Amino acid sequence: MENSKHIVLAHGGGGALTRELITDVLVASLGRTAEALPDAAAVPGAEGLVFTTDSFVVKPLFFRGGDIGSLSVHGTVNDLAVSGAEPLALSMGLIIEEGFDIETLGRIVRSAASAASVSNVQIVTGDTKVVARGEADQLFVNTAGIGIRRIHPDPKSLQAGDHVLINGGIAEHGIAVMSEREGIAFETRVRSDAAPVWPFVKALIDAGIEPRVMRDPTRGGLAACCVELADDSGVTVELDEQAIPVRPETRAACDMLGLDPLNVANEGKIVVFVAEDCAELALDTLKKAPGGEHAALIGRVVPRKRVSCVMRTRFGGERIVEMPYGEDLPRIC
């Protein structure tokens, strides 16, 4: 936090400034280490249980493919899933601005209930707070989730030779929210990919595969995910641009907006790092899971180079993939 004395939007973007805020202020103030405060963590004294919390401030509240209600459920169960935990139950807290339409609120909560049902979890407790006009932007949602540990992925376990897989096309959520917010009309409308990823994790477990580590590439996108994990393990991740699935309409939208798909948020994707000897089985497993037909093997882990992540481009060159500074698209989750 050397260069900033005040919070800026980029501190919430999932990139370099977010890591600074967490490490230099939050972790330091709590007297913990960054490793001790992951997105989802074991519950002290309750072996096997995993706990997570998340907050959602997306604008607009409704977008192609979802809304703040379903998004809050998917985001929370996915944090549990990529930690190796089967989601069990959620809480939901609502911060509602005075004047908010009650029917709209009911629509959002019903959407959350539907998403919970699809994710095979229940919203078992919650809270509401109403604040005066101007003290919130319509509606903010906070969730907490609890799950039971099935496997133990380790963010520091990556080894040279490991392979990187993803279960489908990237950048769809961020582009869907951005286009809705700005009223941008694309020839083919991009829809958010928001969905639970536990079915993919379960499929891998059932196939006898225990990934080294898994991540849902939300804020900061695939780039932030790969850079952070490479740094944690002291290795370099090499990505293959041609292998990374990006729908044509999503790529066109990114080109129009001047965005790199690697930096755009996803809400239904899982990045999986596995040992080389089970990479093909893992890919086949992801492809056979519902919604995984576009799964792909997108890169590999190599001994540490001078940078954390590089990408072989479609044109045969190589470019450095850097941790995003902030976020290209604010308020997307």
Q: Could you list the beta-strand ranges (E) of the chain.
A: 40-42, 49-56, 62-63, 66-67, 85-97, 122-131, 139-149, 163-166, 213-215, 235-240, 271-274, 296-303, 309-312, 318-320
Output the six-digit token pair for 29.
Answer: 């103030």
Strand partners, 53: 144
Topology annotation, domain 163-320: Phosphoribosyl-aminoimidazole Synthetase; Chain A, domain 2 (3.90.650)
Rounded CA separation 33/14 (Å): 18
Distances in Å between the alpha carbon of 313 and those of 241, 307, 310, 319? 5, 16, 9, 7
Q: Give pTM, 2 decimals.
A: 0.91
Contact indicator for 52, 169 with CB cutoff of 8 Å: no
The fourth-level CATH superfamily of domain 38-149 is: PurM-like, N-terminal domain (3.30.1330.10)
Can you give the pLDDT at residue 212? 97
* Main-chain dihedrals φ then ψ at residue 139, nearest 5 degrees: -155, 130
With beta carbons less than 8 A apart as the criterion, state whether 306 and 117 touch: no
Q: How far apart are the first and last CA of the chain?
A: 24
The CA distance from 26 to 37, in Å, is: 10
The confidence score (pLDDT) of residue 257 equals 85
Q: pLDDT tens digit string along 170-211? A: 999 999 998 888 776 565 689 999 999 999 999 999 999 999
Segment 260-275 shows an average pLDDT of 97
At residue 328, the pLDDT reads 63
Name the E strands within 195-295.
Answer: 213-215, 235-240, 271-274
CA–CA dist 92, 109 (Å, integer): 10
- Structure confidence by residue, pLDDT tens digits, 37-55: 677 889 988 989 999 999 9
Mean pLDDT estimate for the chain: 92
Of 291, 325, 67, the C-alpha closest to 177 is 67
Q: From CA 199, how far away is CA 205, in angstroms rounded? A: 10
Cβ atoms of residues 75 and 267 within 8 Å: yes
**CA nearest to 58, candidates 181, 179, 143, 172:** 181
CB within 8 Å of 280: residues ≥ 6 apart: none
Domain assignments of the chain as residue spans, ordered by start: 38-149, 163-320
* Interval 238-255 mean pLDDT: 95
pLDDT tens for 275-332 read 999 999 999 999 999 999 999 999 999 999 999 999 999 999 999 999 887 666 667 8
40, 303, 312, 169: CA torsion to nearest 10:
-20
Q: Which residue has the higher pLDDT, 207 or 27?
A: 207
